[in-house]
Amino acid sequence: MDVSKARYHHPIPWDAEFKAVTLPALFARSTQRAPDAPLAHFLGRTSTYGDLFGDAQRFALALKERGIEKGDRVGLFLPNVPIYISAYYGAMMAGAVAVNFSPLYSVEELAQQVADSGTRLLVTVDAPELYRTAAAVLRESELETLVVGELAAMLPSLKGIAMKLFARSRIAKVAHGVDILRWAELLAGADRMPHFEERHPELPRIDPQDLALLQYTGGTTGTPKGAMLSHANLAVNAQQVASINPFGEAASEVFMGALPMFHVFANTALLNHAVASGASLALVPRFETAQVLATIGKYGATGFPGVPTMFQALLDHPGLARADLSSLKVCISGGAPLPAPVCEKFEAATGVRLVEGYGLTESSGVVSVNPYEGMRKPGTIGQVIPRTEILLLDKEDPSKTAPAGEPGELALHGPQVMQGYWNRPDAAKEVFVEHFGKRWLRTGDVATLDDDGFIAIVDRIKDMIAVGGFKVFPSQVEAVLLGHAAVKEVLVIGVPDDYLGETPRAYVTLEGEAQAEALRDWLNARVGKHERVSGVVIREELPKTMIGKLDRKALKAEELGDAG
């Protein structure tokens, strides 16, 4: 990508070099440098790099002893807890492929992905809802082994004792046996390396091009697919993200870990980013506004990657004005478009810069972001991170590039782009195209690129609404309606129309008083004729995905009986 140095505003040249290494190598490097440095703060207990690297290596050795071989799949069915870190890197040290599963999955959802991935061993915790789901899948699938960590053991000693004594309803009764093992006992039998080497001599050699992670897509079209991400994909993306931090000594950074680590955004922007930098994570098991505000203050969080609904929730919390956010240098919004009113109100209320970025499962998590300092362009997803190239394709024919100056389907080329989809070569053929001698990943997002190299996402191709002979981008209509003082959240979908085929309809939640008809008239006076909505529906809440972003697919299913 030909990027003018004068117009590239990240604090490192676009053509900077990044070393393709394994994720355990990144972890070993930071641990060797400072084994006593904090890596995870969790509800009052801090685990160091040495602690968690040692546990990861012990887990890897235990996997080998149980017959897990290079390339076998090891699943993580975990919230944001310290053993996630050890299980994630430990599986990779053993040469296994980690598979992330959402802790919100039902038995059916988990069983489907366990079967699709061929997961042999699954790690979870003794939270009742998680353990019950995992145990049911163990009984009903080809899954061989369940490893269960104790939540009480991850807390400070007094908190852990109190949980066992007074919060028994929050601890599952685990039926330990041949195929259900305790995390602590599994690790107890393995050796610990004293010098934190990248690879224990008994473990297999792994290569940066080896498969490291199966990350299932959100399933925007049909059954979720497993994106195959190599060590090099993930390690380079972590280094790319770390390289755009302009704030000085990276090891002193503390990242607010409210995004769930099973999600690709958090996997790169939090976990692998921290490990690549020698930084630490202030983890919370789930997003609860008061706990997040308290955690930022307690641990001096300097960076906060989140989704727009998280920043809206902070704005809505009555304790925001009293919270100590003085340590925060920047907040990064991803996962969904950042509404301009949310950005403006958040910055006015906190004094912290909130920048928007972009990524997807198939790109290991991060593609672009607005610079943390200096020039930025609200309403855009910023500039590509180093070594990432983009191309705009014709919206109707991806074998052609988009006409100059017109929106097109965003396509990506870079070291973080996935290898393909697990057991789905057919699906991979649909998302990759050849141009200029390179393989480009089609994103399904329609974008524009300005003269300064800032990218704006117009909408998703599959979300475009066909009104007569016109294409309507829902996000553009949503952006106008968000300009109304009473509107808090909005989704626009196409609904059937006998004459036009489809017409847009808006669904909103409110933070003030307004009538549906008045909102419809206000909006329709401000958009093009073909963009006018047939109605506005006021709801108490709008559906959201597992990471908290507004879920258009679920809304369509609720309103139209259409699963997308």
CATH no. for residue 485? 3.30.300.30
Domain-located, residue 220: no
Is the distance from CB of 109 to CB of 134 less than 8 angstroms? no
Contacts of 285 (CB under 8 A, 6+ apart): 43, 79, 80, 81
Strands (E), 350-463: 353-358, 368-369, 383-384, 389-393, 408-413, 420-421, 432-435, 438-449, 455-460
Q: Which of 463, 484, 516 is the last residue of a domain?
A: 463
Cα gap 475→394, rounded to integer Å: 20
Closest CA to 91 of 113, 114, 125, 121: 121
- Whether residue 458 is found in the same domain as residue 469: no
Which token pair is 406? 């017109």
For residue 128, which phi and psi values (nearest 5 degrees)?
Answer: -55, -45
Quote the pTM value: 0.87
Residue-level pLDDT, tens digit, the chain, 564 residues:
455 677 999 999 999 999 999 999 999 999 999 999 999 999 999 999 999 999 999 999 999 999 999 999 999 999 999 999 999 999 999 999 999 999 988 898 899 999 999 999 999 999 999 999 999 999 999 999 999 999 999 998 767 776 666 666 789 999 999 999 999 999 997 876 666 777 788 899 999 999 999 999 854 345 789 999 999 999 999 999 999 999 888 899 999 999 999 999 999 999 999 999 999 999 999 999 999 999 999 999 999 999 888 999 999 999 999 999 999 999 999 987 888 889 999 999 999 999 999 999 999 999 999 999 999 999 999 999 999 999 999 988 999 999 998 999 999 999 999 999 999 999 999 999 999 999 999 999 999 999 999 999 988 888 888 887 677 889 889 999 999 999 999 999 999 988 788 899 999 999 989 999 999 999 999 988 889 999 999 999 999 987 888 999 899 999 887 544
Domain-located, residue 544: yes
Which token pair is 195? 């010098």
- Whether residue 438 is found in the same domain as residue 289: yes
Closest CA to 444 of 546, 363, 522, 379: 363
Contacts of 50 (CB under 8 A, 6+ apart): 31, 35, 36, 196
For residue 94, which phi and psi values (nearest 5 degrees)?
Answer: -80, 0
Which token pair is 443? 């994103």
> Which is it for the CA torsion 554, 378, 395, 477, positive or negative?
positive
Is the distance from CB of 232 to CB of 206 less than 8 angstroms? no
Is the distance from CB of 124 to CB of 148 less than 8 angstroms? yes
Cα gap 246→262, rounded to integer Å: 27
- Whether residue 276 is found in the same domain as residue 173: no
Quote the longest CA-to-CA distance of the chain.
73
- Whether residue 196 is found in the same domain as residue 294: no
**Total domains present in the chain:** 3
130: helix, strand or coil: helix
Is the distance from CB of 28 to CB of 195 less than 8 angstroms? no
pLDDT at 218: 59
Q: Which of 410, 437, 463 is the last residue of a domain?
A: 463
- Whether residue 294 is found in the same domain as residue 349: yes
Which token pair is 55? 């546990």
The single-letter code of the amino acid at 333 is S
Contacts of 372 (CB under 8 A, 6+ apart): 244, 245, 246, 247, 329, 330, 353, 355
Closest CA to 286 of 109, 108, 543, 43: 43
Domain-located, residue 147: yes
Question: In the beta sheet, which residues pair with residue 508?
Answer: 490, 538
- Whether residue 478 is found in the same domain as residue 455: no
CATH value at residue 131: 3.40.50.980
Element containing residue 56 per DSSP (H, E): helix 49-65
> Which is it for the CA torsion 230, 233, 235, 238, positive or negative?
negative
- Whether residue 16 is found in the same domain as residue 50: no
Domain-located, residue 228: no
φ/ψ bin of 555: left (φ > 0), alpha (ψ from -120 to 50), beta (otherwise):
alpha
Closest CA to 96 of 124, 67, 116: 67
Q: Which of 412, 435, 463 is the last residue of a domain?
A: 463
- Whether residue 399 is found in the same domain as residue 298: yes
- Whether residue 401 is found in the same domain as residue 537: no
Domain-located, residue 223: no
Report CA-CA distances (Å) from 82 to 2, 44, 100, 160, 443. Answer: 42, 12, 15, 14, 33
Is the distance from CB of 384 to CB of 367 less than 8 angstroms? yes
The single-letter code of the amino acid at 407 is P
Domain-located, residue 214: no
Cα gap 342→537, rounded to integer Å: 21
Closest CA to 240 of 438, 416, 441, 89: 416
Closest CA to 480 of 460, 506, 457, 462: 506
Helices marked H in 189-307:
231-243, 264-266, 273-277, 289-299
Cα gap 326→354, rounded to integer Å: 14
Cα gap 319→330, rounded to integer Å: 20
pLDDT at 221: 44
pLDDT at 2: 52
Give the Cβ contact number of residue 263 at 10 Å.
23
Domain-located, residue 32: no
- Whether residue 366 is found in the same domain as residue 281: yes
Domain-located, residue 81: yes
Cα gap 150→399, rounded to integer Å: 52
Give the Cβ contact number of residue 100 at 10 Å.
24
- Whether residue 179 is found in the same domain as residue 87: yes
CATH value at residue 412: 3.40.50.12780
Closest CA to 274 of 259, 289, 293, 285: 259
499: helix, strand or coil: coil
Cα gap 44→334, rounded to integer Å: 28
83: helix, strand or coil: helix
Which token pair is 231? 């060590």
Closest CA to 363 of 409, 417, 415, 414: 417
- Whether residue 451 is found in the same domain as residue 471: no
Is the distance from CB of 461 to CB of 444 less than 8 angstroms? yes
Q: Give, as one character, the DSSP assignment of residue 270.
A: I
What is the domain range of residue 553?
464-560
